[in-house]
């Protein structure tokens, strides 16, 4: 089930912050009423596509910050593994230099609650519980507003890396809707015309494009 329009599932979990410090009780609730959040999941530390994404988020971090957005990553690895990866240089497959929080979901409950765990528990023919699928997170991305409500979500399969610039476009669209009250048509980008959510508004927009 989609989380769009619903309160983002709450949690408290270990995380690495500032690229070097482990905290035991990280929660997205710290941002409620203060900042919007891009909360993204990735499959595993020390892999191949994942470091390109985490480093790409870091490269665009200033763009997110100037829009008032906190970026938070999460995978089902332990916080110790996160820290080891953060301390590994880029030329050796690491993500040294990443400064935004990375949450540990070793219990896999956060990924399950967000609906992006790559499998599920079920009973086998002998009545025993077993996990079917891949027990790591898909590449899920969630844009959460200041009230803690999910306004955008996308989920990529394991081999498909994200377009980080698209996440910035999503943020810009939401801010335009909030500030101006217009809706954003296909392929809208910051600085382009939007339109009023009326038949007349649509007609005016279409006739001028």
**Residues 48, 50, 56, 60, Cα dihedral to 10°:** -170
The whole-angstrom separation of Cα 209 and Cα 206 is: 5
Q: What does residue 170 show for φ and ψ, rounded to 5 degrees?
A: -60, -45
- Please confirm, yes or no, whether 184 is among the known catalytic residues: no
Q: Which residues are catalytic?
A: 50
């Amino acid at each position: 089930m989609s989380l769009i329009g619903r309160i983002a599932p709450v949690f408290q979990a270990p995380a690495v912050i500032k690229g070097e410090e482990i905290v035991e009780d990280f929660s997205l609730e710290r941002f409620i009423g203060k900042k919007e959040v891009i909360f993204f999941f990735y499959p595993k530390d020390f892999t191949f596509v994942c470091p390109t994404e985490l480093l790409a988020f870091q490269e665009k971090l200033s763009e997110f910050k100037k829009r008032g957005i906190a970026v938070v990553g999460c995978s089902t690895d332990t916080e110790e593994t996160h820290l080891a990866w953060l301390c590994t240089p880029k030329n050796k497959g690491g993500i040294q230099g990443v400064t935004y929080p990375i949450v540990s979901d070793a219990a896999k409950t956060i990924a399950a609650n967000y609906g992006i765990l790559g499998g599920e528990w079920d009973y086998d023919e002998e009545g025993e519980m077993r996990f079917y699928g891949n027990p790591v997170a898909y590449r899920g991305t969630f844009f959460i507003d200041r009230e803690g409500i999910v306004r955008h979500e996308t989920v990529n399969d394991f081999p498909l890396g994200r377009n980080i610039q698209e996440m910035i476009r999503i943020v810009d669209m939401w801010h335009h809707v909030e500030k101006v009250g217009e809706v954003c048509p296909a392929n809208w980008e910051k600085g382009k015309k939007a339109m009023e959510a009326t038949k007349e508004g649509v007609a005016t927009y279409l006739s001028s494009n």
